Structures are given as structure tokens and as C-alpha cells.
Structure 1
Amino acid sequence: MNRNQQLFERAQRSIPGGVNSPVRAFKSVGGTPRFIDRAQGPYMWDADGKQYIDYIQSWGPMILGHGDADVVAAVQQAATRGFSFGAPTEGEVELAELICELLPSMEQVRLVSSGTEATMSAIRLARGFTGRSLLIKFEGCYHGHSDSLLVKAGSGLLTFGQTSSAGVPEEIARHTLVLPFNDLPALEAVFAEKGAEIAAVIIEPFAGNMNLIAPGEAYHRRLRELCTASGAVLIFDEVMTGFRVGLTGVQGRYGITPDLTTLGKVIGGGMPVGAFGGRRDIMAHIAPLGGVYQAGTLSGNPLAVTAGLVTLNKIRQPGFYETLSQRAARLAAGLQDAAREAGVVFSAQSMGSMFGLYFTAEVPQNFAEVTRSDIARFNAFFHAMLDEGVYLAPSAYEAGFVSIVHDDAVIDATLAAARRAFARI
């Protein structure tokens, strides 16, 4: 029995399922999860010492790669001054100012400790601001595990959502409507029927949790128009896409101004952090200014803020995103070529430094199309790539991430491994 197996058996005795986040369990792909010992640059090493090219990148934040020397040095220095204070620091102000500078839709920002906390708080704020209860979300978009969001579609377009997790009361789910992603007629129909009841619409502007799916600029423009006309708050969940698809997120890429934005991942440089923010008049309703309560002892943690500040200042350098996007595009195109050579039905795409791979003839446009992927073949490919030393997301429903240190040599090695893997499946 190898070290990974030993650790997994040991973990299951004290941790439910042996993991502290479900996708880590490899349940959808089968096999034993890899317990990571260390990481550096584009690589990770597991408990058995096996090296992998890492395309999870801690689910997005490691845009500079693992162990960036500048981030590490800054965090080490910050640690000498204290781990946490429960009181404000200058670093919090600097990070908030930088976020507001890079994303002008965020006139004010509140730092929190996770993406889940950011989206939960943004929804509560939108409801407090509008005095309404109804939330609209989209099938296949994930915004964390708070009760209002663990909801799946009802039996018809205008039926309220049903809980997708035990422990979520039906009366909470009834305040959420779940719409098909990328379906403009469905969106317009719901606003025509219930526009005056809608407190907020929350959307991943590029979905990254049903693999990588983009609805396009026209869809977002119409969504913005409908929210404006009805008085609903438009929330862009850019926890994953923020500073991943570009320096100004999807909102800057498309020129759309959401009312609120949620962030995470990159703004912490690998440390636990999140944020929500937006229009000043809406943010004025959050405590201590207003009656919408939100608090957190570790919000604006000085180590996380330091890592985020160094990361954001490095990625804003000229040419950074052009290089990053070219590498992600080269990876996606190369994977398609490798699959074609092997006669495997496959498609791929990239947006900024994110990429999606699908065992379908065409890139899917919504969750229903993603579910028609050849999941068994994806699972076989995942394990073949793992054997080849390439670590992809252990699920057919997750996007991948490229860092700035995934250089041409790393991409070449990945594509060589993919050609061997496609030939095996």
C-alpha cells in the first residue's frame, strides 16, 4: 500500500469521507486521492514523491504559480508582525483601494474569508437593500454552500427551486428560482412574470463549475437591462473569474457594470480571503452603516491581505495577461489536436487563463449539454493523465487553470502526456 492510500484510510477515520471538501475525494472519477506534500511553480508532489504538472492551481488563486518568491517573502515578513489582530490594519485599506481601482464597479468593498462568505453576504445585502426576497440563480453555476444557493431547478420555469442538499429547509429553497444558463427567452419570461419580486440575480459571468461555459456579451447586456428595469440587484460572482480572465474580470472584458461583485481566489494569492462590493448606495446598507449584518473575526487577515497585495501588483504588469492567455489557448488547441489524432470525440476552449475540456464534439453551452459528455471517457483520461504526471480537476464539471509559470516547456510536456493518454483511452 502506498503512502497516499495509507493517508486516505487514516483520514477516513477522523474526517468525513477522508477529505475536507468533497471533490478532493475523487468520488466522481474513482481511485485514491493524492495527498499533496509540497508544490513549487507549476508542479506539485504527492505523499509518495510523485511529481505532477498542476492545472488545479488550488482552484484558481495560484496565478503566479506555487511558492512565488515575492509572495512568500512578503508573507514571511508579515508573519513576524502578527498573524491576526481582530482590529483594522493599513493593509486592508490598501487592498480595498487596489480592488476598487482595478474594478471600478466596486465603489466600496468589504473583505471576508472565503468566496462562500462573499456570495452569502452579497445576497443578504441585496435583499436588505431592495426589501425583496426572491433570488434568481442559474443551473450549473456554483456560488458556495450557503442555504439559499444549494437549490436545483423546479419542475417548470416559474416553479420555485428545490433543495439540492439535505439540511436545507424547503421554505428557504422557495425563495430561489433556478433558470437554465444561457437561455435568454427563459430569462425574459421570468422577469416579465416576477420582476417586481426579484431582489437579486447572481451569476458566474463565465461559469467555471460546470466546466468552463460563457454565455456571451449579448446575454449579459440583456440581463443588465432587465435588472435595471425591475430594480433587481445584479451580482457578478467573479470569485473564480476575477483577475483570472483578465485584469478587469468578465465585467471589464464585456463592459458590463454589475451592482455587486464577489471575489476570492486570486485576491488572496493562495491565502483564505474573499470580498464583496459594489455601488456605494448599496454598500451603505451593510453594518456598521446600515441594518444588514455581516461580521468576521478573520476578515482582512493580515497574512492573506499581504499575499493578495503582492499578487495583484505583480499581475497588473504590462503583458502579463497576454502571455498567460496565449499559453492557455495553446494548451486548449493542443489538447484538441491530440484528441483528433487519436480519434477521440473531444473539444476544448480557453478564456484568459482558464480552460475547459469536454468529451463532446462541440463546446457545451449550458449544464444540460455538459451532462451529455462522455463521463466514463473523461474519467479514463483523468487517470491516464495522472499516471503521466499531469494533475487535472478530478471532475468533468470543473474548469482548469494555467499560471504564468506554465511556460512553453511545461505546455509541451503536458501535450506529449495528453497524446499518450488519448491513445490509451
Structure 2
Amino acid sequence: MTNHNETLFARAQLSTPGGVNSPVRAFRSVGGTPRFITRAEGPYFWDADDRRYIDYIGSWGPAIVGHAHPEVVTAVQEAAARGLSFGAPTEGEILMAEEICKLVPGVEQLRLVSSGTEATMSALRLARGATRRDKIIKFEGCYHGHADSLLVKAGSGLLTFGNPTSAGVPEDFSKHTLVLDYNNSQQLEEVFRTVGDQIACVIVEPVAGNMNLVRATTEFLQTMRRLCSQHGSVLIFDEVMCGFRVGLHGAQALYEIQADLVCLGKVIGGGLPVAAFGGRADLMKHMAPLGGVYQAGTLSGNPVAVAAGLTTLKIIQREGFYSTLTAQTRELAERLTAAGQAAGHQFCADAVGGMFGLYFSAQIPDSYASVMASDKEKFNRFFHLMLDAGVYLAPSAFEAGFVSIQHNTQIIDATIEAAKRAFAHL
């Protein structure tokens, strides 16, 4: 029998580097052949062999209301019929900005862009332009897109600037980036005590999703907020992944800590390319055409993408949406933990809002180092056993998972039954 996924993957590798347009899709971390998706609906998608999977990546977060939600599809169809792109402002952009400013604490003004990378890159430029400083702080394991300044790993010492993690990133680009340990408040204090007057900004995922799901501690974020305020540095919350995922008002409301700038994406596009960065009006006034910090984009605020995002934002505000989503995700994590431990494995899971993490370790990780210490090979075997059973998890031990409002108890029951069989075979 022809395996259409294998055929497509072989064909894709002839015209596309690695056969994919984003590296994690290639299954290099877990091995095997990536699934080429042909359609999706609710909590499911189907591959090129018409095999159905319960989907726990949800396009890496955006599909919070489920795939192909009828209201979102209708909004996109109606917007497309009016024209795909104009290169001129539309009322939809105003409505989107007003909605986000209403929902996200501290965001008085924002700028729409097309990707999370654009949002974080632009927020960094804004912070540097507003403070007239060059140095930035990021944290090991946090991913903020593929801008040069952010593709940096830790240096050899506490005050050693970071090293590029990608070919093509000049040393000069990374020499202004300090990379510290996630959840290490003492280290943060030490760096600010030494070079605090040179730091333009601190950028952090308050709920990390790119080293698996790892929560920041309240003390860590409070220390960050205090130090930035004391030294005139800009605190940037990268909520591209966790924004509208951990709750209706994001991680700022969850931790009761207000950032100066917030980066958003994923959910606000409803599955289409929309992202944003925004914050205090006195910072945003530095953006062109008002100020000297330049940023532009032909497709920024694209009317079709805005229609999808705006409709999604309306749906998630309905009564009971987040209480249901949070309960479903917590149930999944708790039952997976129970199943894994009952089978004798060092295994645990965690959940925040509609995000979850799976760890083949004795304890829920709190840092990049503790995530790296988990049993990656056992995860890889578990991933393929679940895939064979029709459950599609993130194809990496270092990525968070996502639940949609359509992942009801019946879906979770089916997932747990598959997991019990997988744990038994490990």
C-alpha cells in the first residue's frame, strides 16, 4: 500500500530544505516520517493517507476554538470576498487593536504585524530606541523567534555575552545579549547590580512553551519587574504563545505583574498570520511615524487574517470558555500523570490554561537544565506509540502541547486509553 506521507516527504525534500518550512515539522527530534495534513475539524486532523488524529498541537496554539470553527470560517470567507489585501488601513485593524487593549493589562497602544518573530524583534528595537541602550537580557530555553539578537545561547560566564545558536548570526549581533538561567532571581540581581544602567530590556516567556511547558515563579517575575523599574529598563513579556492561552487576560493577569511591552500572536490570528506588540503609550509613541523607531509590513493588519483573529477573540470571551478549557487541560494532565506513574514510569504532566507539558522525569521541570535532564528517548518512543494510536502530540520533548475547547471528556478518555497502552509498551 502506498504511504502518501512518505511520498510527499520525499518529494518535498527536492524543493524545500529538509522537506519542511519550519524545522520541528521534520520529525528530526523523534524520528520517522512527518504527517502531511490535508484537513482538520474540531479536535481532529487527517493526514495524506486519510488517517484521523486527535490533535494536541493546534497549529502550535492558535486553534483554541477548534479547527475550522464555523464562525471563524464564515468571517474569513466574507472578508476574502471583499478583497485579500489593500496596503491601506481598514476598520478591522482598529477593532482588533481596541479589543486587545481592552483585554490585555497595560496595553494602551499596539502595532499589528504578521508573525511572532516580527513582534519580538520590533519590541526589542522599540526598547532600545526608547532607552538609548543596547544590551538585552533573555533566558536559556526561552524562544522569541528567529531574529539575530535572540538566536543566542548562554555565554561561558555570568557576565559573558551570549554565543550565536545559528549559523549566519554574526558575533557582533549577539555581543549585546546576556543569557541567564530561567527562574534564577539571584543571577538576575547580580547582573543588574553590575550592568543595570546599560540594559535596554529584559524579554521573557512568563509561561515558557518552547523548552516544553515551564512556569516562571512569581518571585522570579517580581524580581524582574522591580529591577527593570529601578534601572529604567523595559520589561517585555513574550506572550506570543501563552497570550490568551493561559487565561483571557494572559500571563500578566495570572501573575498580577504588569509588563511594559507585551508581544502577542498565535490565538489573535485564529490560525492566520497575525501578531502584535504593544504597551504603554509613552513607549509606543517612539514608533514611526510618530518617533524614530522604524517598523513596517505590507501585510500587517491583513483584513482576512484580522477577521479570523477578531472572531476568535469574540468566541473566547463567552461565559465559561476558560473555566471549561482549563478544566479539560488539567484533567488531561492529571490523568496522564496517573497513567504514567501507575505503569511504573518516572513521568509527570503540568497544565496552565489551555497549555500542557509532558515530562519523563520525577518532577515538573522549572528550568532549561531540568527539562534537558528528562528522558528524551523514552518520550520519543511514547510519541510514536501515541501517533500509531491516532494521537498527535508535539514531535519533540521540548515543546508544549495545546488543548482546544473541542477536546471534551470523550476525546480525553480516548487519549488516556491510548496512553495506557503506550505506557504499558514502553
AA of the residue aligned to 2:318: Q
Q: Give the Cα separation in 2 of the matches to 1:402 and 1:164.
A: 30
Q: What does residue 219 of structure 1 align with?
A: 220
Secondary structure of the residue aligned to 1:111 is strand
Shift of 1:219: 1.4
Q: Give the Cα separation in 2 of the matches to 1:2 and 1:253.
A: 45
AA of the residue aligned to 1:415: I
In the alignment, structure 1 segments of 5+ residues that lack a partner are none
AA of the residue aligned to 1:416: E
Within the alignment, does 1:37 sit opposite 2:47 as a pair? no
Q: What does residue 85 of structure 1 align with?
A: 86
Q: Give the Cα separation in 1 of the matches to 2:8 and 2:353.
A: 36
Q: Give the Cα separation in 2 of the matches to 1:216 and 1:370.
A: 16
In the alignment, structure 2 segments of 5+ residues that lack a partner are none
Deviations 1:204-237 (A, max 9, x none): 0011000001122221111100000000000000
Deviations 1:253-293 (A, max 9, x none): 11111000000000000001100000101100000000000
Q: What does residue 157 of structure 1 align with?
A: 158
Secondary structure of the residue aligned to 1:124 is helix
Q: Give the Cα separation in 2 of the matches to 1:76 and 1:244.
A: 25
Q: What does residue 354 of structure 1 align with?
A: 355
* 1:112-123 paired onto structure 2 within 5 Å: 112-123=113-124
Which ranges of 4 or more aligned residues in structure 1 deviate by more than 6 Å?
Answer: none
Q: What does residue 409 of structure 1 align with?
A: 410
Equivalent residues of 2:328, 2:407 under 8 A apart: yes
Equivalent residues of 2:244, 2:250 under 8 A apart: yes
Equivalent residues of 2:326, 2:352 under 8 A apart: yes
Q: Give the Cα separation in 2 of the matches to 1:74 and 1:302.
A: 10
Q: Give the Cα separation in 1 of the matches to 2:67 and 2:180.
A: 37
Q: What does residue 140 of structure 2 align with?
A: 139
The alignment's TM-score, normalised by the length of structure 2, stands at 0.99
AA of the residue aligned to 1:120: M
Q: What does residue 57 of structure 2 align with?
A: 56
Q: Which moved more, 1:7-16 or 1:339-348?
A: 339-348
* 1:214-363 paired onto structure 2 within 5 Å: 214-363=215-364
Q: Give the Cα separation in 2 of the matches to 1:181 and 1:211.
A: 13
Q: What does residue 20 of structure 2 align with?
A: 19
Q: Between Structure 1 and Structure 2, how many residues are aligned?
A: 425
* 1:194-205 paired onto structure 2 within 5 Å: 194-205=195-206
Secondary structure of the residue aligned to 1:11 is helix
Q: Give the Cα separation in 2 of the matches to 1:221 and 1:322.
A: 26
Shift of 1:344: 1.2
Deviations 1:103-157 (A, max 9, x none): 1311000000000000000000000000000010000000000000000000011
AA of the residue aligned to 2:161: F
The alignment's TM-score, normalised by the length of structure 1, stands at 0.99
Deviations 1:8-45 (A, max 9, x none): 00000000000000000000100000000100000010
Q: What does residue 389 of structure 1 align with?
A: 390
Secondary structure of the residue aligned to 1:332 is helix
Q: Give the Cα separation in 2 of the matches to 1:169 and 1:413.
A: 48
Q: Give the Cα separation in 2 of the matches to 1:100 and 1:65.
A: 24
Secondary structure of the residue aligned to 1:59 is coil
Q: What does residue 130 of structure 2 align with?
A: 129
Q: Give the Cα separation in 1 of the matches to 2:295 and 2:108.
A: 18
Q: Give the Cα separation in 2 of the matches to 1:170 and 1:219.
A: 29
Shift of 1:345: 1.0
Q: Give the Cα separation in 2 of the matches to 1:347 and 1:306.
A: 38
Q: Give the Cα separation in 1 of the matches to 2:52 and 2:343.
A: 26
Shift of 1:318: 1.6
Q: Give the Cα separation in 1 of the matches to 2:358 and 2:192.
A: 33
Q: Give the Cα separation in 1 of the matches to 2:223 and 2:423.
A: 40
Secondary structure of the residue aligned to 2:59 is helix
Q: Give the Cα separation in 2 of the matches to 1:216 and 1:311.
A: 29
Secondary structure of the residue aligned to 2:214 is coil
Deviations 1:322-375 (A, max 9, x none): 000000000000101111121111011100010000000000110001001101
Equivalent residues of 2:66, 2:405 under 8 A apart: yes
